[in-house]
Amino acid sequence: MNKTILALSAAALALTGTTAIAQHRGAHNPDTDGNGSVTLTEMQAASAERFARMDANGDGVINAADRQARGAQMFARADANGDGELTAAEMQAAREARKADRPERGERSERRAKRGGDRTERMAQRFAQADTDNSGGLSQAELAAMHEARGERGKRGNRGGKRGGMFLSADANGDQAISRAEFDAAVQARFAKLDSDGNGAISAEEREAHKAERRAERQAKRGERRGQ
């Protein structure tokens, strides 16, 4: 069950401030004064709003209970007909909704589509394999099994889950929960990394440089996997 929630709640694991910056052009724009740069104060404010949304029970800690509640909400929203399963169409609709809210997601999807036309076929194959009862929809249990299997393949390929890494970097004491203090420390560390010139603001150029670095890392990992 927890793996289902983690898979459905990708945002819940993006807790180190990256999301606030990625949403610069999205619905949750941290650049509140519109000057093109994001200060630490702006980033902290945007990230604090995200923390509050993730902390479902308001106890000041993001843990498994919060992730389960958040994931259940996301599953329910995606399950348009309320039958307890997600069809391929419902999952696609949920992806489109996320892309509309997060423009950078749409940009990544377009780049992926250009790189390989067989992505849709691969997704269809994964869906069919996960739909073990051939009902035409994936239950939470089937989604959990699918993501657990993919996670095991990732470990064998030495990929290391990006979201898991982000969670671990914020979870300083390793207790599988993120306190507000840990969250704030992670946001500050992330800001310092992105603010490459140390002037106290993350410029559009610094954001683009970070995106380029991330793309290069992903391309390098893809090359490593092809060579294995």
pLDDT in tens, 143-188: 888 877 776 555 544 444 444 555 667 899 999 899 999 999 999 9
Query: In angstroms, how far is the first alpha carbon of the chain from the final one?
Result: 32
Measured over all CA atoms, what is the biggest interatomic distance in the chain, rounded to whole angstroms? 57
Instruction: Note whether 53 and 14 are within 8 A (CB).
Output: no
Mean pLDDT value of segment 56-84: 89
Residue 150: enclosing H or E segment and its boundaries?
A: helix 140-156
Q: Which residues contact 218 (CB under 8 A, 6 or more apart)?
A: none
Mean pLDDT value of segment 80-107: 82
Closest CA relative to residue 228, chosen from 153, 162, 122? 153
Distances (CA, A) of 131 to 147, 153, 184, 225: 13, 19, 40, 27
- Lowest-confidence region among 93-97, 114-118, 180-184: 114-118
Neighbours of 100 (CB within 10 A): 12
pLDDT score recorded for residue 166 = 56
Closest CA relative to residue 94, chosen from 108, 105, 83? 105
- Lowest-confidence region among 52-56, 80-84, 157-161, 209-213: 157-161
DSSP secondary structure letter of residue 41: H
Lookup: tokens for 28? 């949750």
Closest CA relative to residue 97, chosen from 84, 114, 78? 78
pLDDT score recorded for residue 16 = 39
Q: Which residue has the higher pLDDT, 221 or 161?
A: 221
Q: Give the pLDDT band of residue 40 (cuts 50, 70, 90).
A: very high
pTM: 0.62
Q: Which residue has the higher pLDDT, 160 or 193?
A: 193
* Three-class SS state of 201: strand
Q: Is it the case that residue 109 has pLDDT exceeding 80?
A: no
pLDDT score recorded for residue 118 = 64
Alpha carbon distance 176, 165 (integer Å): 12
Distances (CA, A) of 221 to 18, 25, 108, 218, 225: 20, 27, 16, 5, 6
Residue 211: enclosing H or E segment and its boundaries?
A: helix 204-227
Q: What is the mean pLDDT of the chain?
A: 78
Instruction: Note whether 17 and 190 are within 8 A (CB).
Output: yes
Q: Which residue has the higher pLDDT, 224 or 77?
A: 77
Q: Is it the case that residue 210 has pLDDT exceeding 50?
A: yes
pLDDT score recorded for residue 220 = 87
- What whole-number percentage of the chain has pLDDT above 90? 39
